[in-house]
């Protein structure tokens, strides 16, 4: 199992109570399940609408194995223009 660095942005930062943290996870799906359990319903709800970047690239396959020591950016929808 890899340990990944999770960086929160926007409302997810407030819901997590931290700008970043480390978590052990093999896939994005596993990581998101852990984050929801750890931080509760507010973050769990926010994660449903987020985009995820893994080492700077958009990550859509939640079952794909995360790279070792990856950085996962949690990006909520942004408004404005």
Contact 64, 81 (CB under 8 A): no
Give domain status of residue 80, yes or no. no
pTM assigned to the model = 0.93
Work out how many domains the chain is built from and give that number.
1
Count of Cβ atoms closer than 10 Å to residue 56 Cβ:
8
Give domain status of residue 50, yes or no. yes
Whether residue 77 has pLDDT greater than 90: no
Rounded to whole angstroms, how far apart are CA atoms 18 and 67? Answer: 23
Can you give the pLDDT at residue 78?
Answer: 78
Rounded to whole angstroms, how far apart are CA atoms 18 and 41? Answer: 16
pLDDT digits (tens, 9 = 90+) for 32-64: 999 999 999 999 999 999 999 999 999 999 999
Give domain status of residue 81, yes or no. no
């Amino acid at each position: 199992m890899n340990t990944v660095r999770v960086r929160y942005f926007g409302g997810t930062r407030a819901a997590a109570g931290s700008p970043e943290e480390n978590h052990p996870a093999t896939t994005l799906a596993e990581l998101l399940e852990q984050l929801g359990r750890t931080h509760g319903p507010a973050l769990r709800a926010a994660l449903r609408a987020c985009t995820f970047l893994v080492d700077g690239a958009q990550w859509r396959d939640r079952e794909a194995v995360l790279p070792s020591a990856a950085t996962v950016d949690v990006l909520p929808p942004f408004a404005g223009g």
